[in-house]
Structure 1
Amino acid sequence: MSYIERFLGGIAVSVELTLLSFAIAIVLGLLLAIMRVSPWPPFRWFASSYVELMRMMPLLALLLLFTFGLPKLGFIYSLFTSTVLVLGLYSAAWICEVVRAGINTVSIGQIEAARSIGMRFDQIMGEVVLPQAVQSVVGPLGNLFIIQIKASAIGAAIGVADITYTAQKINFDTALAVPTFLGAMGAYFLLTLPAGWFFRFLEQKMAVLR
């Protein structure tokens, strides 16, 4: 297999890591954000504790825990799956805060009006708050997605064959560190650039709808 083919394989793995982990982070982050603004204290406490825990936890330490610690308890995952789960669980905390900030942009008057006509909390969230909040969180979510692309390189620490790991292996084979790692940096640039364009396009579309 040529070095270019190996790099392309690494790019594919990095894309898979990013998309799968970000999907997990979006779903979990949205649920956590709703819990943080819910009227039930146990939900608020759980979501707040989760966010604070993830903020204090080094990403690499969490990955090593999933990779080498949890199998001792009977939870056995592939290296790829461990990386996806860790990135998703970790990023969910930041997405939670972004979504919560978006929720807080909705005026309290609209929420009180919805309550006055008998709408439940879940109805208020789904029909009043979230449709408006999403318009203000597209930009920050785009930034987090780009960070997720770069954070996917953490998988190289445990042997996931992404861009960074592939570059390391090629460097071991060729001893051409400068062109090899410049190529890796270029690959990440080619992933993050269109992602930035896409989210800016979405943000502009959302601005028109406001």
Structure 2
Amino acid sequence: MDEYLPELLARLADGFAVTLRMLGWSALIAGIVGTILAAMRVSPVPPLRAFGTSYVNIFRNTPLVVLFLLAVEGLPTVGVRISFEWFAIITLATYTASFVCEAIRSGINTVDVGQAEASRSIGMTFGQSLGIIVLPQAIRAVIPPLASVYIALAKNTAVAAAFGVVEATGQLSNLIRDFASFLWFSFFGIAAGYVIIVLVISGIAGMIERRLAVVR
């Protein structure tokens, strides 16, 4: 065991480095896109509302594996040539953005509509009202659902293993093949890594929620 342990740990670390990289980029992109979509969904402009609603209905109700297949097989046909890891990041981000959108929209709906009306009565545009008045209040209500969305995203990164991305789950398959006698060590190492990621996301969300509760 001792002679193989350094290599096992190194490969586990490499797998989780890819997982965390995908999680970080897809979470960032999904957060930005989801916020824009949420603004569209509550916009007074009908075409923007229609686009936001259509996006959420399509991506939220399409299986993630189908979206992966569409990205991996479809994007190269229109000239998109990127690594499989970035195909995975784009797919995860576009899928997760629909859930981020709904979480943020639900938070916006908790803010008293009178505040938005008051801001517009003093000359604020829709964008100013949303960004200055509504979203800062809505964010308090969306921390728990957003944490759940990002926890789901962390676990969804495992789907990328089926498309050749050697993230944590993909690394597990390689370790089972190369170190069959250390099956349980590899499995529990991967499981522990995911548990740590989930606990970190939950901890950060809890810390932000407590901080905002004090402000309120």
Q: TM-score, normalised by structure 1?
A: 0.96
Moved more, 137-146 or 77-86: 137-146
- The amino acid across from 1:118 in the alignment is G
**Structure 1 residue 182: deviation in Å?**
2.0
* Structure 1 residues not aligned, in runs of 5+: none
2:204 paired residue number: 198
Q: Deviations over 1:110-147 (max 9, x none)?
A: 11111221211111111111111111111211121111
2:168 paired residue number: 163
Q: Does 1:42 align with 2:44?
A: no
Q: Does 1:189 align with 2:195?
A: yes
Moved more, 190-199 or 90-99: 190-199
Moved more, 19-28 or 174-183: 174-183
**Structure 1 residue 178: deviation in Å?**
3.0
- The separation in 2 between residues aligned to 1:66 and 1:138, in whole angstroms, is 30
1:24 paired residue number: 29
Which one of the candidate residues 123, 144, 165 is aligned to 2:128? 123
Residue-pair matches, total:
210
Q: Deviations over 1:7-34 (max 9, x none)?
A: 0011111110001000000000000000
- The separation in 2 between residues aligned to 1:175 and 1:138, in whole angstroms, is 42
Please tell me the root mean square deviation across aligned C-alpha atoms, in Å.
1.2
- The separation in 2 between residues aligned to 1:109 and 1:65, in whole angstroms, is 43
Which one of the candidate residues 130, 137, 148 is aligned to 1:132? 137
Q: Does 1:73 align with 2:97?
A: no
**Structure 1 residue 190: deviation in Å?**
1.7
Moved more, 88-97 or 147-156: 147-156
SS in 2 for 1:2: helix
SS in 1 for 2:187: helix
Residues 33 and 97 of structure 1 are in contact (CA less than 8 Å); yes or no, is this contact kept in structure 2? Answer: yes
Q: Deviations over 1:50-79 (max 9, x none)?
A: 000012211011111111222122222210
- The separation in 2 between residues aligned to 1:119 and 1:198, in whole angstroms, is 33
Which structure 2 residues correspond to residues 8-19 of structure 1 after superposition, within 5 A?
A: 8-19=13-24
1:150 paired residue number: 155
- The amino acid across from 1:197 in the alignment is G
Moved more, 109-118 or 22-31: 109-118
Residues 67 and 77 of structure 1 are in contact (CA less than 8 Å); yes or no, is this contact kept in structure 2? Answer: no
- The amino acid across from 1:188 in the alignment is Y
